[in-house]
Structure 1
Amino acid sequence: MELLNIECLGKRLRLEGSMAGWQQLYWDNQLVSQKSASADNQSFTIHEFELSRPSSLAEPSHDDVITQTNRQVMKVRLESDVQWQPFIINYTVLVDNNTIADGQRNSKDIERQTPEVAPVKQQKFSFVGLASLGFKLLKSAKVIKTMLAAASVAAYSWLFSIEFALALIACLVIHEYGHIKAMKHFGMKTKGIYLIPFMGGLAVSDERINTRWQNVVISIMGPTFGLFMSIGCMLAYWLTGNIFFAGLASFNALLNLFNLLPILPLDGGHILKSITFSMNSMVGLIACIAGAAAGVFISYSLGLALLGFLLLIGSLEIVFEWKSRHQSHLLPLDRYGQIFSTLWYFITVGLLIAIIWYFAASGDEMLSMPLEILRS
């Protein structure tokens, strides 16, 4: 992950590193120093490299020839002290033993940073690249967004009824808006909500996350907004006595509870991955595999083909996460963040179950259906 990115002698000085201990220092996107992962690595690290420049500050003309004798060799030294939980990095940059920059960065700075983008390499034609381009065009086309929303309403109306379709769309939009709200909280640019027939919804952002905490908040805010909607529908039911609001509260709670299953790529799976991989890579791998195994059992028991398809995507995500564990750019959760995220998850799950249980106790057959699904 990117630990530091500051200006040094008119160029960018960037420090990349991970909890495994390795660090790489770049000046003007050129690797100038690196430290390998080792059990002997300490939090305090020193990187040194040399630069040469003309002894005169004036730029040479085309007729001038700069020889080695009229070049000045400068010794650059970066001293950094990294504490991972909670994350703090203190740094000092020296040129010829003179301090030119120093300061401190914490997790808030990591959340707000825009990571360095590697130069784009020219690639040959491929169907994968064509599909990627098509998906980018899809995301940028507002007319496609409208068409997908209309197709979702039509599909759900055909399966059930127009009333149910509109209610389901409302549940999906509120859920996805929770994700969008969290992204905007972290200053991320968003492209809005996309409704996909029979698949649900998708909140799209132009930017990648920098910390596990961002991943937790963005993932859990969808179900949290869904919880708020169920509570609002419950209040409307108490005020009006209209059973429609009771049914909407209960089924919306079931929808968001399903999304909190600890299975990738569902929101619950992302929360589980962020918490466990922040503890230890092996703990994260075991937890995600256990979640996938539970998902296979649920998919087979209930005959949920769509869940099986999602599990395939989630399995690829687990493999990718494990392979890139030493090069991950994500700042891990500290102990407080792990505990808080776990409590937030279980409180949300508990309240959603409580809403389902409350309406099932009324004895109404329709309102008892979500609880019967849970018991199955």
Structure 2
Amino acid sequence: MELLKIDCLGKQLRLEASLAGWQQLFWDNNLVSQKAASVDNGGLRVHQFEITAQRSIALPDTDETQVQETKINMRLETDVVWQPFRFDYRLIQDDEIIAEGTRTEKDIERQTPEVPVVATQKFSFVGLASLGFKLLKSAKVVKVLLAGASVAAYSWLFSLQFALALIACLVFHEYGHIRAMKYFGMKTKGIYLIPFMGGLALSDEKINTRWQDVVISIMGPTFGLLMSIASLIAYYVTDNIFFAGLAAFNALLNLFNLLPILPLDGGHILKSISFSMNSIMGLIACVIGAAFGVYISYTLGLALLGFLLLIGSLEIVFEWRGRHQSHLLPLDRYGQVFSTVWYLLTVAALVGIIWHLAGTGDEMLSLPLQILRS
């Protein structure tokens, strides 16, 4: 991840690092210093490097100057604490401090990572076709076509009225992701509806922290939960079974989205939580929590939910060893607890809505619960 990007003698000085402990320092996109990975991935690190810069030197007994290349000794002192994140730096030139400061998680969230320069390619028909495809892909007409295909597909399965309501639920879910992206200052491409697969909220930018991953991922199901609650209220106010069915199926849709399986939202959430746990005790706690969730699911007769929870949890546990290779800043202890509680409360609320509506005795309203028990 990019820890620092500042001006140094008129050119960019950039420090890249990872949780594994390695650091690479670039000046004018040239590697000038690096530190190997180590068990002690934080604390004080000192980068000593020499750069060549042009200086104007006054000629004796004249008003003229001469530009000469000189070697300048530089030193960058860094002190990083990963959880909770704090990065202190001090740039020294010839024993004189020329820049210093502190960066927090908020600074990492708002930064734009360095984009590599792409070489200019010569004209070709393949390149022209690729450009045309990109223009078509970004056009609004694609969103309209995909939305129309989704309405047709769901109308074929259910009815036009229910298809339109389901599309509204999908859009509201994806809008939750969009709102979270905009909260972090990210540019968005909008919402794409995909027949039989739901929708996608796309952004032009990449995330920098696990907290961003959690919030962006969970805001979709949270908005979905709000939609189910609103539909449930509308059902009790109007006594129209349509709103009850919408609340139940929308809850089922968002519940499946919270399963700990990538690339679902739940997979991103639990992966960010577990990958932020540096100690083996954190992994053990994650395993115990997953086992408890599987046990509760089977105790309540939710066989499908328990099975998918088990598979997804094992996938995350197996990938836990590679957590230090990620470029994402980990959650601190407060972020881990808060994210876990938010996730569990959302899952419990969605299951509660499904269970409550299944108790009405209506065959259609009991279908989501039957799916979970299959």
TM-score (norm 2): 0.83
Secondary structure (helix, strand or coil) at the match of 1:367 reads coil
Shift in alpha-carbon separation, 1:82–1:173, aligned structure 2, 3 A: same
Equivalent position of 1:242 in the other structure: 240
2:238 maps to a residue whose letter is: T
| Aligned counterparts of 1:55 and 1:267: Cα–Cα separation in 2 | 54
Q: Is the Cα contact below 8 Å between 2:42 and 2:82 reproduced in 1?
A: no
Q: Which residues of 2 match residues 353-368 of structure 1 at below 5 A?
A: 353-368=351-366
Match of 2:372 among 355, 371, 374: 374
Q: Is the Cα contact below 8 Å between 2:45 and 2:77 reproduced in 1?
A: yes
CA deviation after TM superposition for structure 1 residue 117, in Å: 1.1
Q: Which residues of 2 match residues 70-149 of structure 1 at below 5 A?
A: 70-120=68-118, 136-149=134-147
2:352 maps to a residue whose letter is: A
Q: Is the Cα contact below 8 Å between 2:45 and 2:78 reproduced in 1?
A: yes
Task: Indicate yes or no: 2:47 matched with 1:47.
Answer: yes
Equivalent position of 2:342 in the other structure: 344
Match of 1:328 among 301, 326, 329: 326
Structure 1's consecutive aligned runs of 4 or more residues displaced over 4 angstroms after TM superposition are 121-125, 128-135, 280-284, 321-327
CA deviation after TM superposition for structure 1 residue 329, in Å: 1.8
Secondary structure (helix, strand or coil) at the match of 2:206 reads coil
Shift in alpha-carbon separation, 1:249–1:182, aligned structure 2, 3 A: same
Equivalent position of 2:299 in the other structure: none
- 1:230-284 Cα offsets, whole Å, 9 max, x none, are 1111111121111111111111111100111111111111111111112249959
CA deviation after TM superposition for structure 1 residue 133, in Å: 6.0
Q: Is the Cα contact below 8 Å between 2:73 and 2:93 reproduced in 1?
A: yes
Equivalent position of 2:36 in the other structure: 36
Equivalent position of 1:6 in the other structure: 6
Secondary structure (helix, strand or coil) at the match of 1:203 reads strand
Shift in alpha-carbon separation, 1:57–1:239, aligned structure 2, 3 A: farther
| Aligned counterparts of 1:129 and 1:85: Cα–Cα separation in 2 | 45
Q: Which residues of 2 match residues 213-362 of structure 1 at below 5 A?
A: 213-280=211-278, 283=283, 325-362=323-360
Secondary structure (helix, strand or coil) at the match of 1:56 reads strand
Percentage of matched positions with identical amino acids: 70
Shift in alpha-carbon separation, 1:129–1:358, aligned structure 2, 3 A: farther
CA deviation after TM superposition for structure 1 residue 362, in Å: 1.3
Secondary structure (helix, strand or coil) at the match of 1:192 reads strand
Q: Is the Cα contact below 8 Å between 2:231 and 2:246 reproduced in 1?
A: yes
The Cα RMSD (Å) is 3.5
| Aligned counterparts of 1:340 and 1:131: Cα–Cα separation in 2 | 47
Equivalent position of 2:180 in the other structure: 182
- 1:30-55 Cα offsets, whole Å, 9 max, x none, are 11000001235651111111122334
Shift in alpha-carbon separation, 1:40–1:121, aligned structure 2, 3 A: same
| Aligned counterparts of 2:349 and 2:370: Cα–Cα separation in 1 | 17
Deviation larger for 254-263 or 137-146: 137-146
Task: Indicate yes or no: 2:17 matched with 1:17.
Answer: yes
1:107 maps to a residue whose letter is: E
Q: Is the Cα contact below 8 Å between 2:42 and 2:81 reproduced in 1?
A: no
Shift in alpha-carbon separation, 1:343–1:39, aligned structure 2, 3 A: same
Q: Is the Cα contact below 8 Å between 1:171 and 1:252 reproduced in 2?
A: yes
- 1:151-177 Cα offsets, whole Å, 9 max, x none, are 111111122211121111111111111
Secondary structure (helix, strand or coil) at the match of 2:117 reads coil
1:231 maps to a residue whose letter is: I
Q: Is the Cα contact below 8 Å between 2:85 and 2:104 reproduced in 1?
A: yes
Equivalent position of 1:172 in the other structure: 170
Shift in alpha-carbon separation, 1:21–1:130, aligned structure 2, 3 A: farther
Q: Is the Cα contact below 8 Å between 2:12 and 2:27 reproduced in 1?
A: yes
Q: Is the Cα contact below 8 Å between 1:281 and 1:322 reproduced in 2?
A: no
Aligned length: 346
Q: Is the Cα contact below 8 Å between 1:281 and 1:325 reproduced in 2?
A: no
Secondary structure (helix, strand or coil) at the match of 2:366 reads helix
Secondary structure (helix, strand or coil) at the match of 1:346 reads helix
| Aligned counterparts of 1:35 and 1:3: Cα–Cα separation in 2 | 14
TM-score (norm 1): 0.83
1:337 maps to a residue whose letter is: G
Structure 2 residue runs of 5 or longer lacking an equivalent are 59-64, 295-302
Shift in alpha-carbon separation, 1:182–1:41, aligned structure 2, 3 A: closer
| Aligned counterparts of 2:47 and 2:326: Cα–Cα separation in 1 | 21
2:32 maps to a residue whose letter is: V
CA deviation after TM superposition for structure 1 residue 73, in Å: 2.2
CA deviation after TM superposition for structure 1 residue 85, in Å: 0.4
- 1:126-150 Cα offsets, whole Å, 9 max, x none, are xx99998677434411011111101
Shift in alpha-carbon separation, 1:135–1:192, aligned structure 2, 3 A: farther
Deviation larger for 326-335 or 169-178: 326-335
